[in-house]
């Protein structure tokens, strides 16, 4: 009695570089050798492995749905173990072939479908596995970013520049607002460089208090 | 009045219904259900029922077997 199985095969990238159709046919022939019929077979992905298998860091994933007599499964597994192109496999029972898989495998069989060449084995992976981190309360932690080094010289420069315009403006405004400031103070306000802002403000306050 | 630490861990929003199948190829979902060292989160945290948690465990272990997910780290 035959039934439908789902198979995920990790294929060595060296054989994929020689040609995708050749690499794919090696797996298909293996299934057909044991009396199986292929429903769908497509390139699922090419990605970095989370741990090296046979000293390889990358592999191409072939996803296929096929029908094989149940008695022949142990023989198929034995052949897959011996095979060198298949690095690892996962065989599962399936109820039916999904419709999406049929469409995608048909699209791959089209003539204009181009399989990109797999990158070098030590090429960096864009989609790295980043597990979410949780704190003691069980809430997800925000992604940590490295701190930027503090720049000391900039801080020393900024206050000097900011003080200069204040020295000119503040005494003039305070003098106008009070209205009762002395003539001497107005003369001091006209000269921009000499009086300091802190002193000028304290003087005006004291004067107003005295008057009041 | 203090009633002790009654703070419960926040449940993961997996967006799964009770009988939804969990596929080993659905890495977007599976990576949510894994701790910082790659350990499977508890039912207390995932919020799944016993059947769903078993399906999740099975899916993560299958993904680990074909090197889609790490065993550790």
Whole-angstrom distance, CA of residue A140 vs CA of residue A135:
6
B70 and A129 within 8 Å at the Cβ level: the answer is yes
Whole-angstrom distance, CA of residue A126 vs CA of residue A136:
30
Q: What is the CATH number of the domain that holds B62?
A: 4.10.640.10
The string of pLDDT tens digits covering residues B6-54 is 777 788 888 888 788 999 999 999 999 999 999 999 999 999 999 999 9
Q: Is A90 on the interface with B (CB under 8 A)?
A: yes
Exposed/middle/buried for residue A47 (C-beta within 10 Å: 0-12, 13-18, 19+): middle
B67 and A88 within 8 Å at the Cβ level: the answer is yes
| Radius of gyration of the CA atoms of chain B, in A | 14
- Residue B34 within any structural domain of the chain: yes
Residue B33 sits in which domain range? Answer: 17-73
- Residue B49 within any structural domain of the chain: yes
Smallest Cβ–Cβ distance between B35 and the set A44, A50, A134 belongs to: A134
Q: In this structure, are residues B43 and B53 in contact, taking their beta carbons and an 8 Å threshold? A: yes
- Residue B10 within any structural domain of the chain: no
Whole-angstrom distance, CA of residue A127 vs CA of residue A105:
24
Q: In this structure, are residues A8 and A90 in contact, taking their beta carbons and an 8 Å threshold? A: yes
Determine the straight-line distance between the first and last CA of chain A, rounded to whole angstroms: 109
Residues of chain A positioned with their CB less than 8 A from the CB of B32:
132
The string of pLDDT tens digits covering residues A76-112 is 999 999 999 999 999 999 999 999 999 999 998 887 7
Q: What DSSP designation does A194 have?
A: S
A88 and B31 within 8 Å at the Cβ level: the answer is no
Write the ipTM: 0.86
How many structural domains are present in chain B?
1
């Amino acid at each position: 009695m035959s039934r439908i199985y789902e198979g995920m095969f990790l294929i060595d990238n060296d054989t994929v570089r020689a040609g995708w159709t050749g690499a794919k046919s090696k797996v298909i022939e293996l299934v057909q050798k044991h009396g199986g019929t292929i429903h769908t077979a497509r390139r699922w992905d090419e990605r970095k492995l989370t741990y090296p298998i046979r000293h390889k860091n990358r592999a191409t994933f072939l996803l296929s749905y096929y029908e094989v007599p149940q008695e022949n499964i142990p023989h198929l597994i034995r052949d897959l173990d011996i095979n060198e192109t298949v690095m690892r496999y996962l065989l599962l029972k399936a109820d039916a072939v999904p419709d999406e898989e049929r469409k995608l495998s048909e699209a791959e069989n089209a003539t204009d479908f181009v399989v990109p060449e797999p990158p070098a084995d030590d090429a960096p992976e864009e989609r790295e596995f980043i597990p979410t981190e949780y704190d003691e309360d069980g809430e997800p932690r925000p992604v940590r970013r490295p701190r930027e080094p503090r720049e000391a010289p900039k801080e020393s420069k900024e206050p000097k520049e900011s003080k200069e315009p204040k020295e000119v403006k503040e005494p003039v405004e305070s003098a106008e607002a009070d209205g009762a400031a002395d003539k001497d103070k107005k003369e001091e306000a006209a000269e921009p460089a000499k009086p300091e802002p802190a002193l000028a403000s304290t003087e005006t306050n004291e004067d107003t208090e005295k008057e009041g | 009045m203090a009633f002790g630490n009654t703070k419960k861990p926040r449940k993961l929003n997996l967006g799964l219904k009770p009988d939804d199948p969990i596929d080993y190829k659905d890495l977007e979902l599976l990576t949510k259900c894994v701790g910082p060292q790659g350990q499977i989160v508890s039912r207390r945290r995932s919020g799944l029922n016993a059947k769903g948690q078993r399906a999740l465990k099975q899916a993560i272990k299958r993904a680990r077997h074909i090197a889609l997910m790490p065993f550790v780290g």
